Structure 1
Amino acid sequence: MGMLKEQRIVITGASSGIGSEMARQLSKRGAFVVLAARNQDKLEQVGAGLSGPFGLVRLDVSSEESVAEAFQRINDTYGSVDCLINNAGFGRFKPFTETPMNEFESMMDVNYMGVVRCTKAVLPGMLAAGKGHIVNIASIAGKLGTAKSSAYSASKHAVLGFTNALRQELRGTGVTLSAVNPGPIDTPFFTEADPDGSYVKNVGWFMMKPEKVAKAVVQVIERKKTEVDLPWAAGIGTKLYQLFPRLADKLAGGVINKK
């Protein structure tokens, strides 16, 4: 509990899935968790299940005005942010030709620009303090593109590109920037991403429990790791794909493209 005790940690997308699970685990370790998402009622439900004190704020990461207002309120009400977990995001798995332009735009706006907006809101304060931690929940999809995920995968590639570039700028500042790249997680994410359940049916054996992912995020914060791929097999797979893309396509295409 020691190092996280009374640390002010903001979690976007905290109303369900790994966001709410991260809140539970961090609260158990003594952190003061600020829950942020669009749905106030769901945030209150998550907060009611926490073991320690918490704050909550309505936040739409796709709105610059909402982000500015929310983080101003957080600073005024709870104090400066010690750690930001950029977790808000969504996906829809469809063939490229069946994905309308507005879905490409909205996934990029929420999954990528949402990270940029929230990072912009907290980074100046962290730099002034000479300390802080920003954790971006990206995805294995940000390293390995698969069929029917062109919009989602592109948005997560953008998150990783942003994270890796900004990390270089932050060297020596005292601010840590981390990326967590999970594979499929058993959460309500797939209610929207995969309405007919075909993807979940095909990769159910590979899906992780949100508790496992949340635990990995807690360890990233405690140990100040820069990047973690989950599960470990997926991390190895992405490295092999980068080294031998044509061979990997032949060997793994049938497995990773089962949407």
Structure 2
Amino acid sequence: MSLPTPAAAHVALVTGASGGIGEELARELARRGHEVVLVARSRDRLEALAAELPVPAHVVVADLSDAAARAGLPAELERRGLVVDVLVNNAGSSTLGPVSRSDADAELRMVALDVGAVVDLCSRFVPGMVARGRGAVLNVASTAAFQPLPGQAAYGASKAFVLSYSRSLVAELRGSGVTATVLCPGPVDTGFGEAAGFDRDDFEKALPRPMWVAARDVARAGVAGLDAGRAVVVPGAVNRVGAVLAARAPQGLLARVLATAHPGLR
């Protein structure tokens, strides 16, 4: 198995743990006996989750789109006497609409979170894992990573980056005692779409119900795939087929077709 054996003060650090997939990933790792560090911006939600978990849970309030906040994490965990054995890069956001009407600051904040935080935290915590010869990294991307996504261009490109980065990380870590997996969920009912600006009805019409997978099932698939040493995990049979077809389709044609249907371009 690829997940390190749970040990006191050796933790699974889960970003974006205040709700949705991140919360369920923390629950699943705790269920498997891993002490967790919960990172997000909402202290109240993190503390409520920490109180429910059957393992020691440590709350760190941080905005991971902020480079200074990310840079302070290793020192904060060292101060608490905690060692990161499992890194879960789940925090993410999306914008909505065409590039021609985009807000540059909002786009760059999203890229800082969806891409910058993944690279930054891997660079800060993977070296220690390799030095110890034990560890695991789970990066959360999306089925959007397999295709262009007009209407969410920067989001789709960010997730494509995470997929490519994670595949490279898998190869680099082979034989080191550290493993990496990229989790690519399709639509999940977490409020993510509404936060991005989607109308709920439009969101559900654009993404047929068979594509939807519950956050708990996504988390269980991700952690199970990480434990099994799988490089890429796509929860849901329909999403797995869709990811393969999207990756093999002519990308220019696919982008034009998707542009006609994306709610963000109406």
Is the 1:9–1:34 Cα contact (8 Å) retained in structure 2?
A: yes
The count of aligned residue pairs is 258
- Deviates further, 135-144 or 191-200: 191-200
Q: TM-score, normalised by structure 1?
A: 0.89
Counterparts of 1:8-23 in structure 2 under 5 Å? 8-23=11-26
Counterparts of 1:1-259 in structure 2 under 5 Å? 5-6=6-7, 8-202=11-205, 203=207, 205=209, 206-245=211-250, 249=254, 253=258, 257=262
Gapped runs of 5+ residues in structure 2? none
Q: Please, what is the CA RMSD of the aligned residues? A: 2.5
C-alpha spacing 1:166/1:25, structure 2 compared with 1 (3 Å): closer
State the AA in 2 paired with 1:10.
L
Residue 189 (structure 1) shift: 1.2
Residue 244 (structure 1) shift: 3.3
Is the 1:194–1:200 Cα contact (8 Å) retained in structure 2?
A: no
Distance in 2 of aligned mates of 1:74 and 1:239: 39
Report the 3-state secondary structure (helix = DSSP H, G, I; strand = E; otherwise coil) of the residue aligned with 1:60: coil
- Deviates further, 173-182 or 227-236: 227-236
Q: TM-score, normalised by structure 2?
A: 0.87
Distance in 1 of aligned mates of 2:100 and 2:259: 21
Residue 196 (structure 1) shift: 2.8
C-alpha spacing 1:78/1:212, structure 2 compared with 1 (3 Å): farther
State the AA in 2 paired with 1:235.
R
Residue 225 (structure 1) shift: 1.6
Residue 182 (structure 1) shift: 0.5
Where in structure 1 do 4 or more consecutive aligned residues deviate above 4 Å? Answer: 252-256
Gapped runs of 5+ residues in structure 1? none
Residue 99 (structure 1) shift: 1.8
Distance in 2 of aligned mates of 1:25 and 1:244: 35
- Deviates further, 129-138 or 227-236: 227-236
Is the 1:147–1:257 Cα contact (8 Å) retained in structure 2?
A: yes
1:156-204 CA-partner distances (Å, limit 9, x unpaired)? 1111122122332222222111100001110021221134324333126
Is the 2:145–2:157 Cα contact (8 Å) retained in structure 1?
A: yes
**Identity of paired residues, percent?**
31
Residue 27 (structure 1) shift: 1.4
Is the 2:129–2:135 Cα contact (8 Å) retained in structure 1?
A: yes
Residue 214 (structure 1) shift: 0.9
